[in-house]
Structure 1
Amino acid sequence: QSVTQPDARVTVSEGASLQLRCKYSYSATPYLFWYVQYPRQGPQLLLKYYSGDPVVQGVNGFEAEFSKSNSSFHLRKASVHRSDSAVYFCAVSHQGRYLTFGSGTKVIVLPYN
């Protein structure tokens, strides 16, 4: 199993929408996760998916959509704040036993002008 986050760095203006891409390679139905890591802190769970509704609601207005056909689990937020500046990690788990992480996407939110 593997996880690919194609965007190493994303810069967005405050108030704009955000999408972070995640593609995975896994033969069975995966457990999927998004984590956020703020400066000088450990990773924190934003949301997770295993079954049911493919659109998962997370904390702080984030959501992610599971697509089996595209093997993707993209993270979205309609309107970002300065406090959303952080590194975001997508992860896949084999039956909840261990996690394989992507390389992360650093999000920089610029002040609204």
Structure 2
Amino acid sequence: MFSMIIMLLGMLFTVRGTGAQSVTQPDDHITVSEGAFLQLKCNYSYGGSLALFWYVQYPSQGLQLLLKYITGDPLVKGIKGFEAEFKKSETTFHLRKPSAHLSDSAEYFCALRDTVTETAGGAEHKP
């Protein structure tokens, strides 16, 4: 069986004029065997209305959106068999895949954005 290393980096879309907000990914990297259950943790801190995202960056490629949560069903289905569940009470948005593949080796980014439309912001990487 092959093992893969998954790199994790948090990304935060900062918004001017709002309170404290953050995204943390407790693991810097994880190693998963092919076919094993994969879970990438994302914890957030924000009290307002928000949108949460998971991005992936495969070697020598740009960022790709895997999935996003804005409102509605807390279980979000993404591309390539990934899903994430928004748990407001636990302030988590963990990314999961029932069976990891070698092709899933990449860097993964959890991101947070305030849903207030009239504010502008940037992005920050959180190792």
Aligned equivalents of 2:124 and 2:94: distance in 1? 14
What is the aligned partner in structure 2 of residue 108 from structure 1? none
Return the letter of the residue paired with 1:103. Answer: K
Sequence identity (%):
62
Q: Is residue 2:40 matched to residue 1:54?
A: no
Q: Is the 8 A contact 1:19 1:77 kept in 2?
A: yes
Aligned equivalents of 2:50 and 2:101: distance in 1? 30
Q: 5+ residue gaps in structure 2? A: 1-20
What is the aligned partner in structure 2 of residue 3 from structure 1? 23
Q: 5+ residue gaps in structure 1? A: 105-113
Residue deviations 1:8-40, cap 9 Å, x none?
010000000100000011111310000001111
What is the aligned partner in structure 1 of residue 56 from structure 2? 36
What is the aligned partner in structure 2 of residue 110 from structure 1? none
- Counterpart among 68, 88, 94 of residue 108 in structure 2: 88
User: What is the RMSD computed on CA atoms of the aligned residues?
Assistant: 1.6
Return the letter of the residue paired with 2:59. Answer: P
Aligned equivalents of 2:95 and 2:57: distance in 1? 15
What is the aligned partner in structure 2 of residue 103 from structure 1? 126
Number of matched pairs: 104
Q: Is the 8 A contact 1:3 1:101 kept in 2?
A: no
> What TM-score does the superposition give when structure 1 sets the normalisation length?
0.85
Q: Is the 8 A contact 1:4 1:102 kept in 2?
A: no
Return the letter of the residue paired with 1:18. Answer: L
